[in-house]
Structure 1
Amino acid sequence: MKISRLAMVLALGVLGSQAFAGESQSTAADSKTPVDTYTYDMKLDIQKVITVSDIPDQCGPVPAQMTYEDSQGQRHILQYQVMGTGCSNG
């Protein structure tokens, strides 16, 4: 269940980054926002995804960040691990 929740968050993050690509990548508010590290027991309240970092072209787990607003309009930055895009099946 928790893995499916993480997969859903990541999928929404990727889709959200496409939808909001026209917004500024960094603002003064982002520099003041603390970065939270994702854990499986976190209860996420994601109303709007602002940005999602690019995934490095490496093979293995790499850090990624998502900036989002919660249902109260507060901005958060979430750091989590994803699989890099550099692995090949050959």
Structure 2
Amino acid sequence: MKAVVILALASLSPFAFAEEANAGAAQSSAVEQYTYDMKLDIAHVISTTDVSDKCGVVPARMTYEDSQGQRHTIQYQVWGNGCSGG
């Protein structure tokens, strides 16, 4: 009987992983384009794009949580730090 329960649970686990991946993809797909008139409520920055090896104006993203615990991602333009002076 234990083997049947384990087999049933093992067959359902790929569906659980697929559902988690779809939920994560849906959450990360909502990227807002930043504009100067936006009022941002940033309580905690989770991640930002690394632009240390980019030169010139490049797109970057910041993912953050607001004061209500909601996760947001915004895209904006930034000057990369990878330009050499010589």
TM-score (norm. length: structure 2): 0.64
Match of 1:31 among 25, 29, 34: 25
- 1:56 and 1:48 map into 2 onto residues whose CA distance is 22
**Partner of residue 64 from structure 1, selected from 54, 60, 64:** 60
Aligned-pair RMSD on alpha carbons? 1.9
Alpha-carbon displacement from aligned partner over 1:10-62 (angstroms, at most 9, x marks no partner): xxxxxxxxxxxxxxxxx855522300111000000000111112116232100
List structure 1 segments (4+ residues) > 3 angstroms apart after TM superposition. 27-30
**Structure 1 residue 87 corresponds to structure 2 residue 59:** no
- The gaps in structure 2 that reach 5 residues or longer are 1-19
Residues 37 and 58 of structure 1: is their aligned pair in 2 closer, same or farther, counting only changes over 3 Å?
Answer: same
Larger radius of gyration: 2
Give the Cα separation in 2 of the matches to 1:52 and 1:86: 16
2:70 paired with 1:74: yes
> Which residue identity is paired with 2:62?
M
TM-score w.r.t. structure 1 length?
Answer: 0.61
Count of paired positions: 64
Q: Which runs of 5+ in 1 are unaligned?
A: 1-26
Question: Of Structure 1 and Structure 2, which has the larger fraction of its residues in helix?
Answer: 2
